[in-house]
Each structure stands twice: as structure tokens, then as C-alpha cells.
Amino acid sequence: MLKTMRKNVKSLAPTLWLVIAAFIITIFAVWGGAGRMEQSSGSGTLVSMGKDKISVDSFQQNIFRRLENLRQEFESVDKNLIMQLNLPQQVLEQMIQETLLMQLAKKLGIEATKEEIRDKIISYPVFQRDGKFIGFEEYKRILDWNRISLADFENNLKKEIIMQKTIELLGAGITVSRKEIWEHYQKENESAKIEYVFLDTEDIELSEEIKEEESKQYFEQHRENYRLPERRSGTLVLFETEEIKKEVELSENEIQNYYEDNIDQFKDPEKIKVSRIFLPLDSKEKDLVLAQARSLLGRIRSGENFADIAQEYSKDTKAQSGGDWGTFEWRTLPAAEQQQISQLEEGGISEPINLEDGVSILKITERVPEKTKEIDEVRSQIEGILKERKAREKATERIKNLEKRAKKQKDLEAAARESGYDIQKTGLLKQGEAYSIVDSSGAISQTLFSLQENGISSAIKTYNGVGIVQLSAVEAPRPAEYEEVNEDVRKDLATEKKKEKAKKIISAAQDDGTRYDMEKIAEKHGLEYKTVNEHKRTQYLSTIGENAQIDEKAFNLPVGTVSDVLEINTYYVLLKVLDRKEVTQEDIEKNIDTEKENLLNQKKNRFFHSTMVKLRREKNVKINYDRFLQINSEILSRYEK
């Protein structure tokens, strides 16, 4: 069988993960699924890591597969959703992690045998019927229906097996002690029922504004707290892509060529929705079951509702939903049924279909043929993609030419003026500080801190455009003068005053703790009141967050006792334990094996993550962020409403 699989190598169809995702379980549980990587030399290198590379083509294929999956999960996939999921970065990181793992497997000599691949194939439920493998022909038809190459499917299974074996080997030497198991069991199973009141100092209002003299006095008393870190300034030339887009003109040929070269991205695949009635043989004669099927078919053709009859008579897993097998799950049905589906028109109902284990009737409830969007439907998307690409190319080319001239003259400002470009003075910036709205990521300030005296950078890529900067001045860390930090001083003084006021309120509430219940205390003193039925160690506490002080009181304070005032970030808190669920050594002995396995898996996951970080450093992973940003922009442009 495996020899046959190796014929006719084709790229994986986007529907691979739509149809088979239900039964292929990725080993990357922590990452939520690894994108399949196919090494390709086309369109340049996006990531290099040692001798291996991830090509632009390979990355784009994975992105579009993931987007196709997304379109099946959500009614609408747009720019905002893609940005929220951080999809391009997520896919790229998964491909990097997979490549690193395969490199490690090769180094360790880990392989997958033909028998292991075969066993994995026949173990999938979708390839089984009555606990047995459905046979090569039906297995092949399922993949063919989804345009999946047998060779590609086998190759991806091989990778999964190799990576799984590698991960298992990495975690082979990890163990857990009884003390660790006990502490973990306590954390997971002990809980405290608590109530608490709190006051946020930021909600306190001051009756009087802070006076200037008072602020200066506070500064003098706390002068050592106010220091300015090293700051750097530079001369900047920045070409914003939105501005350069105004210069870009597109010909009809460019739009037409992009459309034709990327035609697959503008296709809506055929959509077929199937309903089914299945009558099992059980111990009945097949002729009797066929007769019942013909009777039901007659009722349907006389006008009775297919779904109602399916709900009453059908005996498969979809009976209660009116026999609805949706637009994808029906693809796992036997070959005889799939052949009928391929022949029926929308609304068409099959004759009874004779199966090994019963008889079925099928109905095509919806059939939408594959449609390629006309160029006018996607013209605005193509224009957005091409303009973004051309604008970045123009900006990058200008920066490269300017960089040569500036470095020759050792003066960016002079070179920019000769070229007719505007310059900007960044002013003093801390490392990583955003520069206006044009560089919210802080790439420009980071670059300034990488330069030597009067140094001129190479091109700086930002989401807004491409820039170049020359270091103008470096200001060493120093004590601040009042005028430089007066706003910070006023804020700090205001915070101190609010804290003093808050302490008086919460202390009065604490005094009432022995006389009133917590809810009444909250009402009397204007505090927030909350209850938690099952608080566990390190658990996030509503509004307050997670804190060791909370846990210490929750699991040690006598039941019914009000705690001392707890100061947590900007909050003052009073806590009372109402009840507590504790565990004993006898409890853990009953669950020792399960607890050991859970904790062991957690430790293995942490070790695996640290191994990936180490491998990333060792292999010197380098990403072409310029190309990545371009691809990212093109994807977002395509899905912009």
C-alpha cells in the first residue's frame, strides 16, 4: 500500500485540515496545532536555521490553508479577526518549531518505519468500519475526494510519528517526587470559600488640587527616586507607505496578471450539503430492509419531509438532527454513497443504496458549484495588495540609495536635503520608546540604541513604512530636575495622598470586622464586596488578581476570622474565610497514579518549551522580517472589508 501511496505527488489541498482534522491529533498540544511545512525553494527564503530554510512559498501555502480552516469556523473572516489571532506570526512560529524538532530528530537518528505509518493510517476512526480498516480503495477515495495526494498524506504522517517519538525521547528522563505530587495535588484539590472587601486607591478622589510648592517639597524629599535613564536622539527620514501609495499607479495588465497568477486564492470551492437515512441490517434480511427503504422513499417522493422521516427511522449518529451530514462529514461515508452524491443534483434523492451493513437513502439539500470570483469582484483587494507591495518596494529602494549617500558623506541630514527628502528630529527617546504614531513598536528608538556615535542605520522596517536614522546625541543616565519630571512627581504625590485616605477608610472597616458581616461593612464604608465559593492556590481573584498574600490567608486564617489589611498593588483588602476544603495523604493515595501522570506531563511540556528555545538559539534562527511584513500586509489587504 505504501508503495502505491508514493505515486503522483501533489501538494496538499486546503481541505486536508477541514476533513481530516477531526481525527489527526497534533502533538503540539501547547501550541494548538502545528502547520504542515513543505520545503520549497521558490520565491526566496523567509527563515533560515542552520542548513534548513523555510521558503516564502511554503509559508504562504500554510497561511492560506489556515485561513481556509478559519473560513469554515467563522461566518466572516476579515482583517480584524486575523490580527486578533495574530495568525501570520502564529503560523510562522509553528513552522519554525516543527523544523527545529525535525532537525533534532535527524541528529538523534529517529525515523518512522513503514509499519508505523501503516498502523497509524489504519488506526484512524474515519478509515474504519465495524472496528476494521475500510480497505485501500475506500481509503484512497476519501483522500481523492479532498484532493489529497497519498504521498503527501503519508509524508505528513511520517513527520508526526518522528516528532512524537522525538518528544517522547526528550521527556524520557523526567521524573516527579512524592513531595511534588503532594504539593500539586493540594493546589488542584484544596479550596477555600472566602469573601472579601477592597478599596482601589485609584478610585479615591482628593478634595483639593496639589499645589506647586507642595509638589516641589515632595520632590526634594524623594529626589533619589527620580532619575532619567539613558536617552538618545537622532535625525530620521521615514517614508510612510500610505503616502507613497498615492504615487503608485497600476496598469490593467498588472492587476490581470496578479489575478491569473493567484487564481486559486479567488476560488470558492464546491459546497455540497447532504442528508441521509440509514437503515441497519442488524439481524434482518436485506430484502426486508430494502423494502422498508423503498417504502420510506415513496413517502418522501409523495411530499413527506425527509428530515422528519430521518429523525424517526434512521439509525446513524445524525438521525436526531434530521439526518443532516453537513458539508464535510459526509465525505467519510462509504464509496458507494459518495458515488451517488457526485451524481445527484441539488434537491435530488437517491434510490436505496445497498451497503455491507445496511441500506441508505441520500438527499442533496444544497449544491453550490465551485466558483471563481470575477476579477471585478476582487479588484479592490488586488489593488490594495499591489499598492502596498509597490509602496514598500519604492520606500526600500529610496532608503537604500539614501543610505549609500549618507554613509559616504557621514551626514544623513545633508544627504536627505540633497535628495529633496524631509527630515525629522526624534528628540530624546528611551530605549524601546515609541516614536509618535508612526512607530508604535519602538523600532526606531531600539535602532538608535544599537548605533555608535554618529552612526547611520540600515533600513528600519515598521508597520507604517521604511526609515533610516542617524544617531545625533546620547544623554547619559542622570538625576532629574524637577521641571523634567514634575508631572510624575504630582502623580506620585497624589497617589500617596490617596493611599493615606484609603488606609483610614479600610482601617475603620477592619475595626467593624468583629461586629458586622462583610457585606454590611462594604455598604457602610463604600467598599467593593466579592465572594468566591472555591478559591484555589495561585488562582486569579476577581479584580485583585493572583497574590501570595491572598493564598496565605485563605489557607491558613481560622475560619470566620477577618484578616489584617492586605496591601496588594493599588488595592487595600480585608478577607474572611467562610469554609475550607482540605485534602489528606489518604486522599492522594487514591489518585496517586493520575496525579503523577498529570504533573509529569506538565514538567515534560515545560522541558520541551525550554528545549525549543535552546535549539532556536543554537541554530541561529533568522527571519526576513521585511518579507514577512510584506506578506502580512498583503494578507490583511486581501481580507479588508
- Chain segment 112-149, per-residue pLDDT in tens: 999 999 988 888 888 888 788 888 888 888 887 767 78
Claim: this prediction has a pTM higher than 0.85: no
Q: What are phi and psi of 128, to 5 degrees?
A: -125, 150
Say which residue the cell 476579515 belongs to.
Answer: 78
How far apart, in whole angstroms, are the C-alpha atoms of residue 641 and residue 635? 12
CB 546 within 8 A of CB 565: no
Residue 41's pLDDT is: 35
* Residue range(s) occupied by CATH 1.10.4030.10 in the chain: 2-173+605-638
| 467: Cα separation from own chain's centroid | 30
Residue 75's pLDDT is: 67
Q: Which residue, among 555, 188, 582, has the nearest Cα to 547 in the 3D structure?
A: 555
- Chain segment 38-80, per-residue pLDDT in tens: 333 345 889 999 889 999 888 988 888 888 778 777 767 888 7
Residue 60's pLDDT is: 87
Give the CA diameter of the chain: 102
C-alpha angle 502-503-506 in degrees, rounded to nearest 5: 85
Which residues of the chain fall below pLDDT 50? 1-42
Residue 565's pLDDT is: 93
Looking at domain 270-369, its CATH class is alpha beta
Task: Give the CATH number of domain 2-173+605-638.
Answer: 1.10.4030.10
Residue 447's pLDDT is: 95
Residue 13's pLDDT is: 31
Q: Which residue, among 95, 70, 64, has the nearest Cα to 84 in the 3D structure?
A: 70
| Domain 231-259+375-479, architecture per CATH | Roll (3.10)
How far apart, in whole angstroms, are the C-alpha atoms of residue 627 and residue 452? 27
Q: Provide CB contacts within 8 A for 333, sequence distance 6+.
A: 274, 276, 325, 341
How far apart, in whole angstroms, are the C-alpha atoms of residue 563 and residue 553? 7
